[in-house]
Structure 1
Amino acid sequence: MTTNSRRDFLQKLAASAITLPFLSSQAAFGKATPLAQHSQGPVLRVALMGLGGYASRVAEAMQSCERAKITGLISGTPGKLEKWGAKYDVPEKSRYNYTNFDEIRDNPTIDAVYIITPNALHHDQAIRVAKAGKHVICEKPMAVNAKEGQEMVDACAAAGVKLLVGYRMHFEPNTLEVVRMRQSGELGKILFFQGLSGFRIGDPNQWRLDKDLAGGGALMDIGIYAVNGARYMVGEEPVWVTAQESKTDPAKFKDGVDETIQFQLGFPSGAVASCLSTYNMNYLDRFFLNGEKGFAELQPATGYGPIKGRTNKGELTQPHVVHQTVQMDEMAGIILDGNKPIVPVDGLEGLKDLKILDAIYQACSTGNKQELKLV
C-alpha cells in the first residue's frame, strides 16, 4: 500500500481530531521531551511489554507505522532486552524488567505501554502502567474475568490515561466493509451469525494450557474472536447466552482449561449467534452473517491475513493491510487526537467481552441460560 493510499485509508477510518497531547517532564531524563512529529500529527511512543512471538510480529509491523514507534522495552529476559534494544534502537535507559518498569513514570520518551504478556498478568501490569501515568494498550483478552477488567478500567480512568485493547480486526478493511454494509441496511434485518474459531494446539507445556497464566483455554485465546465478532457483525449487544463444553483429552486440557465450547447468543432484535471455540480442530476461522436482504462471509475471518470474503453481491476486494501496522497507527490517532474508531477498541469494549466470557463459563458449569446486561 502506498503512503497516499494508506493515508486515505486511515483518514477514512478516523473521525475528527481533538488534540490531547500527553507530555511528561522528569528530571531523570533532563528536560521534557516533546511529542515526536509526523506529517499526520504527533507520533505515539510505545514501550512493548513481553517480548515473545506476537510482540515480534507487532514490532516488525510498527517499522511501517507513520504515527507509532518503539521507544521502550520491558522483559524478564536480559538477553532479549539487549537484542531487541539493538535491533530497534532502544537505548539501555529505556529498557526495563518486570520488577522496575514502574520507573517508566520518569521516562518522557514513552507515552504508552503495549502489554503482550500471558492473560493472567494483564491486570496487575496494566494497573502499574496506569499508575505510572502512561496509556495502556493491552492484548486480548483484556483480563481473565470481568472483575479484573473493571478494575483495569477504573485504574486507567483514575490515572487519566486511555485503555485500549488489541482488537486488530476492528481496523481490517474487509471486516469494516461488512460492518458498513450492515450499518447501511444493505443486508436488511440481521437474523443470524456464525463464528467458528479454532486450531489444534501444539506444545502441551505452553502457557496457553496453564490456567494460572491463561485464565482458561481455547475460549480465552481464540474463542474471544467469535464473541467479539458476533457483537460487531450483528451490531447489537447480546442479552443471553447458552453454552456446552466438551473435552476429549483431559490429560492435555486439565481442569479449568477448556478444549471445545459451543455457545449461542441471543440479541434484542431476535437475531441469534451460534459459535464454536476449540483447541482441537484445524481450519476453523469463519464468520457468516445472514440478513433478510443478503449475507456476508469471511474466511479466513481473524487470521493475520489476507482476510478473504464474499457477500450476496460478490467477492470482497478491499486491500490487504498488515493488521498490526494499521492498528498501531489508528491507536495513535485515538490516544493523541481523540479519534473515534468505527468499531470501539477501548477498555469498556474489552470489558463487555469479559462479561460474556464469564457467562459462557457459567453456562457450561450450570447448564443454564445466562442473562446478560452489557448496556
Structure 2
Amino acid sequence: MTTYSRRKFLDTMKLGAGAALGASLLTIPTGTALASVPYFPKPRQGKKLGIALVGLGYYAKNLLAPALEKTGECYLAGIVTGTPSKIPEWKEKYNIADKNVYSYDTFDKIKDNPDIDIIYVVLPNSMHKEYTIRAAKAGKHVICEKPMALNPAECREMIAACDKAKVKLAIGYRLHSEPHTQEIMRLKREKDFGAVKLVEAADGFKIGDPTQWRLKKALAGGGAMYDVGVYCINGARYATGEQPIAVTAQEYKTDPVKFKEVDETITWQMEFSSGAVATCTTTYAASTERLYVAYEKGWAELRPAFGYGPIKGKTNKGEMDIPHTIHQALQMDDFSRCVKENKESPVNGYEGLKDLLVVEAIYKSIGSGKRELVNPV
C-alpha cells in the first residue's frame, strides 16, 4: 500500500515516549476538543523559544494559543494587542509577565526583550508588511499569517527586511507540517503513481457578518481569494511541485451589495511547465473543501483538505491511515527547529511570494478576460 500506514506515521514522527499514548487515541472523531488531540512532539532540542502573538483575534485565541500549550520547542511568552481589556484574561490564563505585554504603540520596545525570540503576526492582511518589517528591525524571527501580504511588491519588501536583519521568516502555511499534506508531497516526490496530470482544488465557506474586516478591501486586499483561495493555489503547487506558468480566471457575484469591495466566488485554471493543469474554485458563498490529484497511474484525494482538521485522505489503493494532529503545534515547532538549527524554513517568504504572484495573475485575467502569464519570482 503506497499511502501512509499508521506505523509509518508513528515512525516518521519519532514518537519515542509519546507512543505510550496508545493506539486508542489515534482515531480522533470530528469535533474533538483541541486539548484532547494527541500532538506527537519530536524530541525537544535545547531551550524552548518564546513566541509573542501580535493580534489576539479568533485564530490567536482559539487555535494558536491552545496549540502553544502542546508544543515542545516553543511557548507563548508574550502578547501584542490594541485592546487593553483582553490583557488580564491572557495574562492569567497563560502566565504572561507584565514585561511581555505590548500595545501596537510600544511594540518596537520588544527588541530589548530576551524572552521573545519569535513574533507571530496574526493581523488583518494589510498590516502584515508593517509588523513583519518592524519585527525584523527588532531582531526577532517572524511567522506571518497567510496571505503573506497584499501584493508581490510587499512580499519582496518583507523578505528584504528579514534578510537585512538576518532573521528568519516563515509564512503560516501550517499544512506543510500536516501529515496528510506531507503524503501528497511524498507521492509527487517519489512518483508512486507516476507524474501528476491534473489537480482539482476547492476551498470556500459561507461568510457571515457583512461588517467584518475580511469584506473590506483596504484591510483584506481581496475576498475569498485572499482568505482561502491561497490554499488552493498552494495545494496545487505542492501537489505538482511546480509554480504555474499561466492562469485563466473568472469571477462571479450573487450578492453585489455584500461583496461590493471584494470577490465572492472565483474559478481559475493553472498551467504548469510539466503539462499538468489545475482547476480551482474559491468562494464566500458556500462550503467546499477538497484537493484531488490525478496521476498517470492513480489518484489521491484529501477531503477535508485545508481546514483545521481532521484532514482525511485516500488514494485509489485505500484510505490514508493517518491520525489527526494539531497543525499549528507542528508548524510552530518546525519553525522553532529551523531557528535553533539556523536552517531556512520550507515555508519561507518566497513560498508566500509565489502564491501572491499567482493571485496577481488571477486578478489580471479576470480584468482582461484572457489567459495571463504568472510573473517570475
TM-score (norm 2): 0.88
Measured after TM superposition, the shift of residue 339 of structure 1 is 4.5
Report the equivalent of 1:332.
Answer: 336
Report the equivalent of 2:182.
Answer: 176
CA contact (8 A) 2:168 2:344 kept: no
Q: How does 1:106-185 map to 2 (within 5 A)?
A: 106-185=112-191
Structure 2, unaligned runs of 5 or more: 1-5, 17-42
Measured after TM superposition, the shift of residue 6 of structure 1 is 9.1
Q: What SS is found at the alignment partner of 1:54?
A: helix
Measured after TM superposition, the shift of residue 109 of structure 1 is 0.7
CA contact (8 A) 1:42 1:336 kept: no
Measured after TM superposition, the shift of residue 234 of structure 1 is 1.1
Query: Hey, what's the Cα distance between the residues in 1 that align with 2:15 and 2:198?
Result: 30
Q: How does 1:249-260 map to 2 (within 5 A)?
A: 249-255=255-261, 257-260=262-265
For 1:96, give the aligned amino acid.
Y
Say how many residue pairs are matched.
343
2:109 maps to which of 86, 103, 113: 103
Query: Hey, what's the Cα distance between the residues in 2 that align with 1:98 and 1:370?
Result: 40
Query: What are the Cα deviations for residues 5-26 of structure 1, in whole angstroms up to 9, with x where unaligned?
Result: 5993489xxxxxxxxxxxxxxx
Measured after TM superposition, the shift of residue 249 of structure 1 is 0.6
Query: Hey, what's the Cα distance between the residues in 1 that align with 2:46 and 2:293?
Result: 37
Measured after TM superposition, the shift of residue 151 of structure 1 is 0.5
Measured after TM superposition, the shift of residue 374 of structure 1 is 3.5
Query: Hey, what's the Cα distance between the residues in 1 that align with 2:320 and 2:67?
Result: 24
1:295 maps to which of 295, 299, 303: 299
Query: What are the Cα deviations for residues 187-212 of structure 1, in whole angstroms up to 9, with x where unaligned?
Result: 21110000001110001011111111
Query: Hey, what's the Cα distance between the residues in 2 that align with 1:39 and 1:222?
Result: 32
Measured after TM superposition, the shift of residue 319 of structure 1 is 1.8
Query: Hey, what's the Cα distance between the residues in 1 that align with 2:96 and 2:275?
Result: 52
Q: What SS is found at the alignment partner of 1:192?
A: strand
Query: Hey, what's the Cα distance between the residues in 1 that align with 2:159 and 2:251?
Result: 30
For 1:222, give the aligned amino acid.
V
Report the equivalent of 1:368.
Answer: 370
Structure 1, unaligned runs of 5 or more: 12-37
For 1:259, give the aligned amino acid.
E
Measured after TM superposition, the shift of residue 345 of structure 1 is 0.7
Query: Hey, what's the Cα distance between the residues in 2 that align with 1:90 and 1:142?
Result: 28
Query: Hey, what's the Cα distance between the residues in 2 that align with 1:338 and 1:6?
Result: 25
Query: Hey, what's the Cα distance between the residues in 1 that align with 2:315 and 2:44?
Result: 37
Q: What SS is found at the alignment partner of 1:42?
A: coil
Query: What are the Cα deviations for residues 239-292 of structure 1, in whole angstroms up to 9, with x where unaligned?
Result: 00110001111110013x00000011000011000000100012x100000011
CA contact (8 A) 1:10 1:330 kept: no
Report the equivalent of 1:356.
Answer: 358
CA contact (8 A) 1:174 1:317 kept: no
Query: Hey, what's the Cα distance between the residues in 1 that align with 2:12 and 2:326?
Result: 14
CA contact (8 A) 2:50 2:116 kept: yes
**Pairing 1:319–2:323 present:** yes
Measured after TM superposition, the shift of residue 298 of structure 1 is 0.3
For 2:194, give the aligned amino acid.
G
Query: Hey, what's the Cα distance between the residues in 2 that align with 1:144 and 1:48?
Result: 21
For 2:154, give the aligned amino acid.
E
Q: What SS is found at the alignment partner of 1:252?
A: coil
TM-score (norm 1): 0.88
CA contact (8 A) 1:199 1:280 kept: yes
> CA, structure 1 residues 301+323, in 2 after alignment: closer, same or farther (shift >3 Å)?
same
1:227 maps to which of 206, 210, 233: 233
**Pairing 1:276–2:278 present:** no
Measured after TM superposition, the shift of residue 82 of structure 1 is 2.2
Query: Hey, what's the Cα distance between the residues in 2 that align with 1:74 and 1:214?
Result: 20
Query: What are the Cα deviations for residues 91-126 of structure 1, in whole angstroms up to 9, with x where unaligned?
Result: 111100111100001101101100001011101111
CA contact (8 A) 2:120 2:145 kept: yes
> CA, structure 1 residues 371+39, in 2 after alignment: closer, same or farther (shift >3 Å)?
closer
For 1:302, give the aligned amino acid.
F
Query: What are the Cα deviations for residues 299-355 of structure 1, in whole angstroms up to 9, with x where unaligned?
Result: 0001111110110111011121111111111111112113466xx210011011111
CA contact (8 A) 2:149 2:155 kept: yes
For 1:197, give the aligned amino acid.
D
Query: Hey, what's the Cα distance between the residues in 2 that align with 1:69 and 1:353?
Result: 29
Query: Hey, what's the Cα distance between the residues in 1 that align with 2:73 and 2:131?
Result: 25
Report the equivalent of 2:31.
Answer: none
2:246 maps to which of 214, 224, 240: 240
Moved over 2 A (4+): 4-11, 38-42, 338-341
2:99 maps to which of 86, 90, 93: 93
Query: Hey, what's the Cα distance between the residues in 2 that align with 1:89 and 1:69?
Result: 11
Between stretches 222-231 and 331-340, larger displacement belongs to 331-340
